[in-house]
Structure 1
Amino acid sequence: MTEQPTDALRDQDFLRLDGQICFALNAASRAFGGLYRVVLKDLGLTYPQYLVMLVLWEHGEMPVKELGNHLRLDSGTLSPLLKRLEAAGLISRERSAEDERSVHVGLTPDGAALRARAVEVPRRIAAATGFKLAEIRDLQARLNRLTTALDAAALEA
């Protein structure tokens, strides 16, 4: 006959580091960051810069505010990224003629051309996970559901 754990023991288990989903996600994020650093080195991009380029390759020119919405970044975080990408000759930034408060971001020819070399990045990352494509898609779906739930919980708090 096995004993049932007491509430105190269950509470103690809840406070174990290896039992924290936030720690597991943070550790995975840091591991991804390390791998992306290596994989993106040949492209001359950091991971955040790569994310900016992904949005522009997918959607084309857009206002900085819209770019920030796609990336879940505020303008204070995004502006330094854009300055570095502009200095590297990959993007251009121009004030809107209709609304001077709005800045539009677009790809330069070099930025557009970089896309062809970047195609291998997701393949290399996926291969490094050891997951099958279906497992990766399932994990993405679950993480998206988690993000939606956490965003909703934060609004309610």
Structure 2
Amino acid sequence: MSDRPHLDLSDYLPYLINRIGAAFVARYESDLAQSGLSIAMWRVLAALSTSGAQRQIDVAESTSIEVSTMSRLVTRLVSLGLVSRTRSDTNNREVNVELTPKGRALVSRLIPRARKLEADAIAGLPPAELAITRQTLRRMYDNMAGVADETQEPRNLAKSG
């Protein structure tokens, strides 16, 4: 064995996680492109479909998208007629975002395909293992968010990607 440092990608967790995400994106992009959407735009629509109208900054956090990127995404989604954006009644600096009827209809058409891709990915996994996997991934994210807090200047943890 060489003294050179090495990294076996087949056993490196960040690579494995990214590989799964890339495979999902590769399969879902054509569905989204037909509607003029990117994966990031899809995440915004999915978050709004689950949680309803919310502050733009909260959507950024829940989707792991940078606040500045979120603003551009929401502007594009507004221009497509899929979301509406309004100033908060209580704080003029806050922006609220929600799906329009057109946005809700589109999400309703796209969710079954997203669920099918997820089903393909988890095929053959026992429910107990899947529950542990989800719990583990959430914990890993929390760990990484905590590391970012300790090693960098304060910032919004919602990174794009």
Superposition TM-score tier, normalisation by shorter sequence: 0.7 to 0.9
Aligned to 1:152: 146
Aligned to 2:38: 46
Matched-pair contact (CA < 8 Å) for 1:68–1:78: yes
Indicate the larger mover: 11-20 or 67-76.
11-20
Aligned to 2:133: 139
State the Cα deviation string for residues 84-118 of structure 1 (Å, max 9, x = none).
11111110111223322111111111112223212
Which structure has the greater CA radius of gyration?
1
Unaligned runs of 5+ in 1: 1-8
Q: 1:91 aligns with which of 80, 83, 87?
A: 83
Matched-pair contact (CA < 8 Å) for 1:13–1:19: no
Aligned to 1:29: 21
Decide which structure has greater helix share: 1
State the Cα deviation string for residues 116-139 of structure 1 (Å, max 9, x = none).
212312322123325246254443
Question: What TM-score, normalized by structure 2, do the two folds share?
Answer: 0.77
**Partner Cα separation in structure 2 for residue 32 and residue 73 of structure 1:** 18
Question: What TM-score, normalized by structure 1, do the two folds share?
Answer: 0.78
Give the fraction of aligned pairs with identical amino acids, expressed as a percent. Answer: 28
Which amino acid in 1 is paired with 2:81? G
Query: Equivalent residue of 1:126, what SS?
Result: helix
Aligned to 2:105: 113
1:28 Cα deviation (Å)? 2.2
How many residues in Structure 1 have an aligned counterpart in Structure 2?
A: 149
Query: Equivalent residue of 2:90, what SS?
Result: coil
Indicate the larger mover: 76-85 or 136-145.
136-145
Query: Equivalent residue of 2:97, what SS?
Result: strand
Matched-pair contact (CA < 8 Å) for 1:62–1:105: yes
Query: Equivalent residue of 1:92, what SS?
Result: strand
Aligned to 2:154: none
1:37 Cα deviation (Å)? 0.6
Matches for 1:64-103 after TM superposition, within 5 Å: 64-103=56-95
State the Cα deviation string for residues 17-76 of structure 1 (Å, max 9, x = none).
434222222222222221121343444422111111111111111111111121122221
Matched-pair contact (CA < 8 Å) for 1:90–1:109: yes
**RMSD of Structure 2 on Structure 1 (CA):** 2.5
